[in-house]
Amino acid sequence: MAGSVEHIGPRLKELRQRANLSLRELAQQLEVSPSFVSQIENGKSQPSVATLYSFATLFSVSMDALFQEEWSEPIPRPKASPEINKSDEASHPYDIWDDSAARISAVSPGNRTLITTESGIQWERLAATTEKSVNFMEIVYEPGTESLELGALATHHGYEYAYCLEGEVEVVIGDLMLTLSKDHSIGFDSSIPHKFRNIGSVRFRGIWFTHWCDGPRNWKLIK
């Protein structure tokens, strides 16, 4: 399933209105300005990865849902996880898909949920079980792209783990700056301010595993 950034604004506005929140009230919860929220809703500003996560967390929806052109009541979860069918009618688990996350998730390449931003960042969901506190993804950063707007860092509860498949990406974690290159891996406490940036001439592709600790995710941007 591919996602389109052109649908983000209308989706966020609809979510805000369903929650009976004004622009100012939503902005206060996200710790941003009302004008910034308005610009995103009207398609005049492109939200960063961290901002998208903040919206998704606040409204209790998946990242995928923010990119959908349409949704019905209730808001659907992404169709990215097959349900194992115990009958003899299915030839393979990959042929059976459920509308929600399954206890067993086996995903073939052509059936992964894919989200692409205008800036050149891609998230491809590799599996989706009923465990809501983890994300297992392949992430791509095209040359010159970064996870946050210039100068900003993100912080949130939980831990992140990453393994580089190709290319390299600059990683800033607190006062530490390092380069994640092919076959190298990292893990860190996500409450430490961090960001990622591809400063090379080739795309970066890596495997990401994020784990949210108990309690609110509390995404914050630090500028």
C-beta of residue 150 within 8 angstroms of C-beta of residue 144: no
Across the range 155-167, mean pLDDT stands at 92
C-beta of residue 185 within 8 angstroms of C-beta of residue 164: yes
3-state secondary structure of 175: coil
pLDDT value of position 90: 31
Domain holding 194: CATH number? 2.60.120.10
Question: pLDDT higher for 8 or 217?
Answer: 8
Who contacts 167 (Cβ-Cβ below 8 Å, separation ≥6)? 141, 181, 182, 198, 200, 202, 203, 204, 205
Question: pLDDT higher for 77 or 210?
Answer: 210
Total domains, the chain:
1
pLDDT value of position 44: 82
Across the range 16-30, mean pLDDT stands at 85
d(CA 67, CA 64): 6
Q: Which amino acid is at 150?
A: L
Question: pLDDT higher for 159 or 105?
Answer: 159
- What is the torsion angle, in degrees rounded to the nearest 10, for the CA atoms of residue 125, residue 71, residue 146 and residue 144? 100
Would you say residue 213 has pLDDT above 70? no
The pair of structure tokens assigned to 53 is 């996560």
Question: pLDDT higher for 215 or 146?
Answer: 146
Would you say residue 138 has pLDDT above 90? yes
**75-79, 173-177, 180-184: which range is least confident on average?**
75-79
The pair of structure tokens assigned to 100 is 């929600």
Range of the domain at 198: 2-222
Would you say residue 177 has pLDDT above 80? yes
**6-20, 118-132, 153-167: which range is least confident on average?**
118-132
C-beta of residue 209 within 8 angstroms of C-beta of residue 135: yes
Tens of pLDDT along 83-104?
A: 333 333 332 322 323 344 567 7
Phi/psi at 109 (nearest 5 deg)? Answer: -55, -40
Q: Which amino acid is at 179?
A: T
Residue carrying the six token digits 């979860």: 77
Average pLDDT of the chain to the nearest whole number: 75
d(CA 120, CA 102): 30
d(CA 156, CA 29): 15
Phi/psi at 209 (nearest 5 deg)? Answer: -135, 120
Question: pLDDT higher for 102 or 203?
Answer: 203
